[in-house]
Copies of this chain bind each other. A is one copy, B any other.
Amino acid sequence: MAEHLLRCDSCSVRHRAVCGALARDEVARLSAIAHHKLLPPGQVILHDNAEMHYFANIVSGVVKLTKTLADGRQQIVGLQFASDFLGRPFRANSPYHAETVTDVHLCTYDKGQFERLVKEIDGFEHRLFQNTLDELDSAREWMLLLGRKSAGEKVASFLLMVARRMESIGCKVSDDPERPRFNLPLSRAEIADFLGLTIETVSRQISRMKVDKIIALEGTRTISILDMRRLMAAMEQERD
């Protein structure tokens, strides 16, 4: 398997960012049990329902969680970026398939050691809990999108979500907050699986936005948002 195992000895700063809100000595305790892995794109991290023997923080890169029907139809049910957790505390297995989308830098912990730390460090489980509530909120927002939005609204919502996410982890290419520019981490096929559409429909919607001068493309992955106002209007807002 093409993955490197590195001892994690001096990445406190990184852990600080990743785990957030932990005291300095607690971060040190996490670092002590951490290993680092560098994974290429398309690497399976977790097969459906397989036992997960470790936890991880994403240090950089993007991971997708997918579910698949017997005949192959697939839906992405979660996208994890830098600083997100992978794995389910105190659960043996996970009903998803997890796979790297880009190069991914993981900081992993042995499951048993991690769970012991969670119990020992006051407020750590509370923090993981709040994290999970956030994931639940975004899953439900996604349900609204999947069930009720048109193709154009879906793609607009997706672009804005990625823009916001890339911004928050400092991966945007340009600096102008009114005209964000960034690399799409997903292929058209992955965007389709994310939005419950086909590749062709995604492509057509993106082309139309290009014609309408709402966005601009360089190559196929680098997107500039030219008109934030119209892009947000295309998304269709949630009621207050």
Contact = CB atoms under 8 A, between A and B. Distances in A.
Contact of A146 (B89, B143, B237): B143
A203 to B, nearest CB: 18
Nearest to A147: B196
A69 interface: yes
Interface stretch (A33-41, A101-109, A128-136): A128-136
A91 B133 contact: yes
A58 B165 CA distance: 36
B67 A238 contact: yes
B236 A70 contact: yes
Contact of A89 (B77, B129, B240): B129
20 contacts: A49-B240, A67-B140, A67-B238, A68-B238, A69-B236, A69-B238, A71-B236, A77-B143, A89-B129, A91-B130, A95-B137, A96-B140, A135-B136, A136-B136, A139-B143, A142-B143, A143-B143, A143-B146, A146-B146, A146-B196
